[in-house]
Copies of this chain bind each other. A is one copy, B any other.
């Protein structure tokens, strides 16, 4: 398997290296006939240009990075799918980095990506909002960053989000309308944009309806399944057991179902629940789970489009916030 590169092609065609290079990149200064010859041989030998040589020279990787806190989760999976579909069309490659909700890893990845391996980054933050040097660093190095879902307000860039505050507000009111007065909030309690917005939506809905919030009803989930099981079990066995649960993350809702099953609690008789979730099986659960569903695939697409807008057209990334709407999907037992 002798190496087939631009040089060997040139030799075989009795052309110079640069002519071959130009022919392959369809330069206007190459004759139609020459182009034809070059292309033909390239196809015959299945010539594949070395991406590293090209990237090194052009200072362009044709690759983007996606940095997400986790992947075993329908939301992020759908987002990736949306990103991939757009990237594919643009002939870009997609590198995946999973932080496991660990902001130290997020920082390490960002620092690493200062090296030019990617042309841009799509990111949903793990870290806290005040911890943003690594992001600024990327931007200073001309690596555009587009945020989705877990954005960072302080950074001036494109942000694709959903109406978290409003969704949480209406979701909470939905529970109130169902007669719940004692409503717990389960979420990842960080200074994330979404954590804050969802929590505020819940709090404001409670306030508007003149319901005091029991401090113990604001529960922090880590994402760790065993740990969260314990925390939620404690909540559901306490003297303060809520009659409504607002789950700001899908994971929390599932743990509630599991704990309820183990404790013999009945949903919705013992407590009602609504959750942010992209579960395909929400309607098939017992009982069906009412959800606030984010347009995950669309978020991925929009984020990717925004990034490519910058990468391809250099239109200068603006500090825009694109807000997509989540849908509150009410599901009731048909039984």
CB pair B112–A48 under 8 Å, yes or no, is yes
Question: Knowing A281-B254, A281-B279 touch, does A71 contact B61 (C-beta < 8 A)?
Answer: no
Q: Which residue of B lies closest to A280 (CB)?
A: B254
Interface residue A41 (Cβ < 8 Å from any Cβ of B): no
Q: Tell me the residues in window 113-168 of chain A with beta carbons closer than 8 Å to chain B beta carbons.
A: 114-117, 137, 140-141
The interface residues of chain B lying within 8 Å CB-to-CB of A286 are 284-288
Number of copies: 2
Interface residue A51 (Cβ < 8 Å from any Cβ of B): yes
CB pair B94–A96 under 8 Å, yes or no, is yes
Question: Knowing A71-B80, A94-B95, A261-B334 touch, does A51 contact B283 (C-beta < 8 A)?
Answer: no
Question: Knowing A77-B77, A96-B94 touch, does A53 contact B50 (C-beta < 8 A)?
Answer: no
The interface residues of chain B lying within 8 Å CB-to-CB of A53 are 52, 56
Interface residue A311 (Cβ < 8 Å from any Cβ of B): no
A175 → chain B, closest Cβ, in Å? Answer: 20
Q: Which of A52, A88, A286, A334 has the most CB of B within 10 A?
A: A52
CB pair B254–A116 under 8 Å, yes or no, is no
| Additional 10 contacts, C-beta under 8 A, given A1-B140, A72-B81 | A50-B56, A51-B115, A51-B117, A52-B53, A52-B56, A52-B116, A53-B56, A63-B95, A72-B74, A77-B77
A122 → chain B, closest Cβ, in Å? Answer: 13
